[in-house]
Amino acid sequence: MPTPSRYLSGPRIEPKPIKKGTGVSRLVDEAFLAYNAGRLHEACHLFAKKMLKADVTVGMSLTGALTPAGVGRSCIVPLIQAGFVDWIISTGANLYHDAHYALDLNLHRGSPFLDDTRLRAQGVVRIYDILFDYKVLLGTDAFFRRILQEPEFQKEMSTAEFHYLIGGFLREREKTLGLKVPCVLTAAHEAGVPIFTSSPGDSSIGMNVAAMALRGSAFRFDVSADVNQTAAIVWDAKRRGGKSAVLIVGGGSPKNFMLQTEPQIQEVLGLPEKGHDYFLQMTDARPDTGGLSGATPAEAVSWGKVDPSQLPDTVVVYTDSTIALPILTAYALDKVKPRRQKRLYDKLPALHGALKKTYLARAAAQEKKTRR
């Protein structure tokens, strides 16, 4: 008998029939065996078995209208509370719509096949099959403009500090309204999970900040602080002998902003590093059209974004994130005990200071060497 090919060493595909009452974990383990179900199987195992180890710092990026669909409260909040997410980069739109829940403003399930002219005439806003009253936008806008007048906002700050302060105000509003489930901003505030926005002007939050600037507000976003603080989080995780993992939901600017932490460390600051250790992405975009922002894990290796030795620990699931993320969340909560929260927000000044000190020392050494 010839020796079997090494390519035939994988487990046989012989699933057990799905039965009544089959849970998510068993479904993933026993029925998600090929195609993108197979990739989701791999993603769940990578997340639960490797990314959630105590020495791994997990960053999450969020793109697409996820919070209006309820994914914030159903998935992201439980992940934060379980200590499964340590820092976040999100579109401003996701955080703006997240605030609707803390303000107890209603969003409704609807249909994508409605007459938008009639919706507009009746003051109804549509996000695909999500419907809500135009007053939801006006009420949320008024909330942001009101709190932006508070004394603590009359300065320049990183988006992480801005969102932390917003989370505190929303927490008090939730308590006043008697809401039991927090929004993402509140949960992040309570867990010390810093939330950054890569394009702070590109959302209704940024639009209201701009309106307040016309009225003389002293508030400004410090985007350089965002770049350096996110790089400092990754640098600290690696220099202490730990690992860095990225959980990318969607793509776009948040994905690039999260992955650029490694080129910032290596290429720009000139510090020795190899790239993120674990890479997990859920997307429906394609690399050949230029639409898969940040491209594939293999391409990211050429930029120094992903450690080449860690390519086996990279998974891309090409599917709708509103399907994949709830399954991943349920699987992780079922398989892994809650982790101790790293409370990175509280440590940001120290992390930033350590990165700055290392960079300046290296730059001075390089300048001295050049002068010789």
- Catalytic residue check, 49: no
What tokens does 372 get?
């010789």
Please tell me the distance from the alpha carbon of residue 191 to that of residue 83, in angstroms, as a whole number: 8
What b/e string do you get for 23-49 counting C-beta neighbours within 10 Å, with b at 16 or more?
ebbebbbeebbeebbebbbbbbbbbbe
Report whether 55 contacts 243 (CB < 8 A): yes
Residue 312's SS3 state is: helix
Residue 192's SS3 state is: coil
Report whether 266 contacts 358 (CB < 8 A): no
- 363: Cα within 13 Å, side-chain hemisphere: 11
Catalytic-labelled residue, pool 305, 356, 357, 369 = 305
Q: Nearest-CA neighbor of 282 among 10, 122, 70, 71?
A: 71
What tokens does 342 get?
């790293």
H-state helical runs in 4-76: 24-31, 35-46, 71
Cα–Cα distances in angstroms (integers) from residue 97 to residues 70, 108, 168, 205, 212, in the given order: 10, 13, 17, 10, 20
What b/e string do you get for 340-367 counting C-beta neighbours within 10 Å, with b at 16 or more?
ebbebbebbeebbeebeebbeeeeeeee
- Residue owning tokens 């000044």: 349
Please tell me the distance from the alpha carbon of residue 360 to that of residue 337, in angstroms, as a whole number: 40
Report whether 244 contacts 372 (CB < 8 A): no
Cα–Cα distances in angstroms (integers) from residue 282 to residues 54, 257, 262, 369, in the given order: 23, 16, 20, 45
Active-site residue list: 305
